[in-house]
Amino acid sequence: FAEAIYIVTSGEFMPIYAANNIMRGIKRFSKRGGSRLGGIIHNSRGSGEDLHIVEEFAGVTGTRVIQSIPRSGEILKAELEMKTVIEKFPDSGISNIFRSLAKEIMNNKDYRHPKPLSDEEMEEFGIKIARAFKT
């Protein structure tokens, strides 16, 4: 089994809701000697303005954001050639971010038992998210 699980999410409600459900499973199995949570990886789907939402979610659930991956056209271009961004653009900024993430995961020993939100707390957090995205 894996020592640690990492959750990738963005700051919209449904990805946060899914992350919370994954935490429920991790909590259930970690108490029986299973994997614990290594952290959250923020997957920016836009300008990165939702990072604060993911950081707040991490805080209230007892974990941390270990890296934020910005949206990148280089990732899309690499995917078209069936390559990773590190293969296609090895010296790019986004490749360096992925290298940094890999080092963080390899060196991380700060595994935690997550504290997922209840259904009611999740609903309240969803309202916060909606307000944050209000245009």
Cα gap 55→63, rounded to integer Å: 9
- Alpha-carbon distance values, 113 to 4, 11, 35, 80, 129 (Å): 10, 21, 9, 38, 24
| Three-point CA angle 55, 11, 5, nearest 5° | 65
**Alpha carbons within 13 A on the beta-carbon side of 134:** 7
**Per-residue pLDDT tens digits of the chain, which is 135 residues long:** 678 999 999 999 999 999 999 999 999 887 777 789 999 999 998 766 889 999 999 999 999 999 999 999 999 999 999 999 999 999 999 999 999 999 999 999 999 999 999 999 999 999 988 888 775
